[in-house]
A = this chain, B = another copy of it.
Amino acid sequence: MVQKEKVFTERNCDPDSDIRACETGRYVAADRRDVDSFEEENVKPEVPVIQLGAGTVGRELIRKIKTWNGSEGNKPRYLHVGIADKSGFVTNKNGFSERDLSKITEEKSTGEELAGIYPNKVGSIGSLESFLEGMESGVLIDVTDAERFEDLYRSALTRGWSVVLANKIPLTRIDSREFSRLKQSGLRYETTVGAGLPVISTLDHLRDHGEKFVEIAAILSGSLSFILSRLEVGVDLQQAVRKAKDKGYTEPNPAEDLLGKDVARKAVILGRSLGLDFTLDDIELQPLVRLDNSSSSKLWPQLEAANSDLLEKVKSAESRDNRLRYVARINGQGASVGLEEVPESGPLGQGISTANVILFRTDNYDDPPLIVQGPGAGPEVTAGGVFSDIKRCRARCR
């Protein structure tokens, strides 16, 4: 009937067949023998890390890993063996030193690129795959917004690497079936929706309950919430958008946010996480502002034109004790993303500016629903969420 338990420890502890699981294996073996002996172990294995992207989130992640590696305790250290940005890919099979990493983060923060920092050492991003081949498995992290890395994820996963994404783009470009496959094989992507908020893990948790989903309704754009809350206090659309841009809440071109594309991507990721088969094209998308020309230079006059109409809608909602919010809804009928009038006193209307609010309605969580809310953007919380994903998949890494 029941097969004897040994698959896990064997898999984890045989360094010949599979090096990466040894750390976990020792812990498991330890706690099976005797819970006490767990604390007596003094192993500090090293997990190789390849990081794609060293922008604000990437640099914050490097800082987090540095702090973690320097702290006490029996736990794996994360060793950067490769870092890539748009300009190329630098590697060090033995792991970059703290000094190297400090140099990279400092120079990158001034706008320098890797190709400038390591003019003679930078390789092409195409070389990543063959670099993977020669390495013991670890964690591949994508904190870029690049489109091209899907094949790399797949090939890393097949080689036993873990893959952690903050990058939404590839998850909406691949098809649903491929999404499921990557998820099955251990891809983690918590921060693609709600940054560091536990959105995907709550969704998975409820699926594990056996809950039947009725709907997910969510405010998923801190920048659009900020803009709407400015309009509520009488600020002009142009000014509100400029303020959001200045504060770093929007994409470099705020049109990306105003058109709702970013929210639509998150809706696709949520839907696919529910096992639904749909793509960006299936989302009923109503932009916050309709733009004939979304190039950055043409944006501002179009905002001026749209201002009075939007301000009018906000005022009119207020007169009914409602608020305008930019809401994503995913349910059995499909998914929609657009402006909605929601009750000021309801969960979607109460959200503080820049917060994300995610309502999960299921058979047992319907009225009231299960709600997760909090700051859903920012390099610190996003890097934190990525780091949490990295730690949670480390069992697969060694």
Contact = CB atoms under 8 A, between A and B. Distances in A.
A94 to B, nearest CB: 6
Interface stretch (A34-42, A286-294, A295-303): A34-42
A18 interface: yes
Contact of A331 (B1, B45, B374): B1
Nearest to A386: B209
A106 to B, nearest CB: 21
Interface in A366-398: 368-375, 378, 380-381, 384-385, 387-388, 391-398
A128 B290 CA distance: 67
A158 B157 CA distance: 32
A233 interface: no
Given A209-B384, A370-B197, A381-B364, A21 B35 contact: no
Interface string A327-350: 000011000000000000100001
Contacts of A56: none
A93 to B, nearest CB: 8
Given A183-B10, A184-B11, A3 B276 contact: yes
Interface stretch (A25-33, A166-174, A244-252): A25-33
A260 interface: no
Contact of A198 (B68, B201, B355, B375): B201
A212 B2 CA distance: 10
A212 B3 CA distance: 9
Interface string A38-65: 1100000111100000000000000010
A45 B188 CA distance: 25
A14 interface: yes
